[in-house]
Amino acid sequence: MTATHEPLSKERRAELRERYLKVDTANVADVLDELGHPDYGLASSFWPIHESQNKMAGWAYTIRGQMTPYSGTGDPEKMKAVSGLQDGEISVWSGGGASGVCFFGELIALGMQHRGCVGSLIDGGIRDIEWIGKMNFPVFTQYRSPVQSIGRWGVNAWQVPVYLPGATAERVRVRPGDLILADVDGVILVPQELAEPVLERAEELTRKEVAIREDLNRGLGLPEVLEKYGHV
């Protein structure tokens, strides 16, 4: 993976995001394996807060924080961080893991959604789940907690590389602009510079699976399917 890459245009980002919503994390994971990138799956402990909103795709907008006591009635750094979100981005929250506090609730989620944010991925907790469920705003998180972050956990940086727990590696590095895809099978990251070739191959696999299902449904046996399509 190279350290630098040409940024995608706003229009291209929107197009790719819509196409990613039509493929599965499983196929994307298989493609990454084919390309020699086996460790971009995120930990299975991330789960969608609502089963009806279990699919999201978007470009990572990273927010980093830490457990730290402070005075005051709010976290101004958090407000600055979320104000930078743009269309098609997923807010990716790191810094705390199982700290026991929620990183945000309904009102911040609503504000992010109005800025064009299309979901959140949180290595931490969330509250106001019932209300967020009415917003059609997908969230994958580690846990739920009614305990607020004010005075306990604060944002210390945003739009910087962050680490999240991985499936096959201890940590997965997430950079601003990387592609996040999540569905009922879990969450996977695609580095921005690989987003286009990975998507094209995942779309090929998706079309192949559609053809296989059609053949199986019309009575073709598994040996015939393997002979016709190879490994599936």
Instruction: List binding-site positions.
Output: 105-108, 127-128
Residue 203 falls inside a structural domain: no
When divided into structural domains, the chain yields a total of 1
Q: What is the pLDDT of residue 232?
A: 62
Instruction: List binding-site positions for Mg(2+).
Output: 128
Instruction: List binding-site positions for substrate.
Output: 105-108, 127
Residue 231 falls inside a structural domain: no
Residue 152 falls inside a structural domain: yes
Angle at 137 between CA 139 and CA 181, to 5 degrees: 55
Q: What is the pLDDT of residue 126?
A: 95
Looking up residue 74, the CATH number of its domain turns out to be 3.50.30.40
221 CB-near residues (< 8 Å, 6+ apart): none
pLDDT tens by residue, the chain, 232 residues: 444 567 889 999 999 999 999 999 999 999 999 999 999 999 999 999 998 889 999 999 999 999 999 998 889 999 999 999 999 999 999 986 667 899 999 999 999 999 999 999 999 999 999 999 999 999 999 999 999 999 999 999 999 999 999 999 999 999 999 999 999 999 999 999 999 999 999 999 998 877 767 767 777 677 776 766 666 6
Element containing residue 17 per DSSP (H, E):
helix 10-20
Residue 59 falls inside a structural domain: yes
C-alpha distances out from residue 124 to 41, 45, 65, 169, 211, Å: 18, 11, 10, 19, 40
Q: By residue range, what is the domain housing residue 96?
A: 10-193
And the tokens for 227?
């002979």
Q: What is the CA radius of gyration of the chain?
A: 19
Residue 232 falls inside a structural domain: no
Q: What is the pLDDT of residue 96?
A: 67
Residue 88 falls inside a structural domain: yes
pTM of the predicted structure, to 2 decimals: 0.91
Q: What is the pLDDT of residue 49?
A: 94
Q: What is the pLDDT of residue 84?
A: 96
| Phi and psi torsions of 35, nearest 5° | -85, 0
Residue 83 falls inside a structural domain: yes
Residue 138 falls inside a structural domain: yes
